[in-house]
Structure 1
Amino acid sequence: MNTILIIEDDKVIRDELSRLLETFGYRTVALEKFDNVVEDIKSFSYNLILLDINLPNENGFEICKRIKENNSVPIIFVTSRNSEEDELRSIITGGSDFITKPYNKYILLEKIKRRLK
């Protein structure tokens, strides 16, 4: 069973993503503190990360860049930011895909499935 790490500071969205993914057969782990994300995630085992851009302390772009220095895990940005510049920056920093909120759950699930192949 694949495990998806959710890095999302909005509890409602975080819980919604967990429920959705678990309904479709994924195991989820969700961060609830964002003081030291890159260090904190080292204690988890996961196959894919869903990452928000707007996080307290450090933005998702910087987190993605730091994760990718030592880890090839696929990272899908799930964010309310929807400019072409944000999407380009997500690619440049190592993101595997980009989807904007509010997201279509079936498109998100398909993107996840394809990245886990």
Structure 2
Amino acid sequence: MKHILVVDDEKNIRDLIEKYLVASNYKVTTYGDAKYLVEEVRRLSPDLIVLDIMMPNSNGLDVCKEIRKFSEIPIIFVSAKDEEFDRILGLELGADDYLSKPFSPRELVVRVKNIFRRLNNKPKEDLIKIKDILIDKERRSIRVLDQTLKTTQKEYELMVYMAENANHSLSRDQMIEEVWGYDFDGDTRVVDDLVKRLRKKLTSLDSSLTIETVWGFGYKIET
């Protein structure tokens, strides 16, 4: 189930948005201001944010800039300001969409679904996101929140293979065939050594992702 954060200082708007999103089978967490939103995004790794721009003690534009330093999570701005400049500024700062108040909650739900549909239609090999991990295959990089996970070539290839097959138990033989090739004649313990190194690196960056051992078989990553 997709998890959406709704941030607005008007309780009636928060409640209305939550009602329609929950009815559309989304998990929703609401906030009356964005004071601790950056920390919450790091902690919860949500799938999308509906963010008001003008709130007491916080500005949605500034919060968006901070989030964009470490995450590409979709953001939909909602605002009572309907000037073209504000809409363009919001989009330039990295927002994925912009709705002016008052708006139809049904329209918001449609826009949320459209964003998820676009994300789902992205080629699988481009971006892989699991919990607080973002793998960019084009750049051959792995990010844990705002930090780079430094890996060797084989560590990277193994991480990608497990991430692409998340929630599936993978045998050591499968991993060797995928990462080292069918003609590899070494010991399967090389997989254990690689997994051990990846676990240590993930732990050092406080990642919430874990590589689970499937005893007597291999490993898997749970989403």
Q: Same fold (TM over 0.5)?
A: yes
Shift of 1:42: 2.3
Cα 1:40–1:116 shift into 2, 3 Å = same
What are structure 1's unaligned runs of at least 5 residues? Answer: none
When normalised by structure 1's length, the TM-score is: 0.91
Q: Is the 8 A contact 2:6 2:31 kept in 1?
A: yes
Q: Distance in 1 between matches of 2:91 and 2:35?
A: 24
Residue 70 of structure 2: aligned partner: 70
1:12-37 per-residue CA deviation (whole Å, 9 max, x = no partner) reads 11111111110111110112354332
1:28-59 per-residue CA deviation (whole Å, 9 max, x = no partner) reads 01123543321233222311000000012221
Higher strand share: 2
Q: Distance in 1 between matches of 2:71 and 2:9?
A: 22
Q: Is the 8 A contact 2:74 2:96 kept in 1?
A: yes
Q: Is the 8 A contact 2:49 2:74 kept in 1?
A: yes
When normalised by structure 2's length, the TM-score is: 0.50
Identity of aligned residues (%): 32
Q: Distance in 2 between matches of 1:56 and 1:33?
A: 7
Residue 111 of structure 2: aligned partner: 111
Cα 1:105–1:35 shift into 2, 3 Å = closer
> Matched residue pairs, number?
117
Q: Is the 8 A contact 2:3 2:46 kept in 1?
A: yes
Task: Tell me which of the two structures has the higher relative contact order, counting C-alpha pairs closer than 8 angstroms and 6 or more residues apart.
Answer: 1
Aligned partner letter, 1:78: V
Shift of 1:105: 2.3
Q: Distance in 1 between matches of 2:110 and 2:34?
A: 27
Aligned ranges 1:1-117 → 2 under 5 Å: 1-117=1-117
Shift of 1:6: 0.6
User: Rg bigger for which structure?
Assistant: 2
- Aligned to 1:116, what secondary structure does the other structure show? helix
Shift of 1:116: 1.1
Q: Distance in 1 between matches of 2:88 and 2:34?
A: 24
**Could you say what the CA RMSD is over the residues aligned between the two structures, in angstroms?**
1.4
Aligned partner letter, 2:29: V
Q: Distance in 1 between matches of 2:8 and 2:106?
A: 19
Cα 1:33–1:104 shift into 2, 3 Å = closer
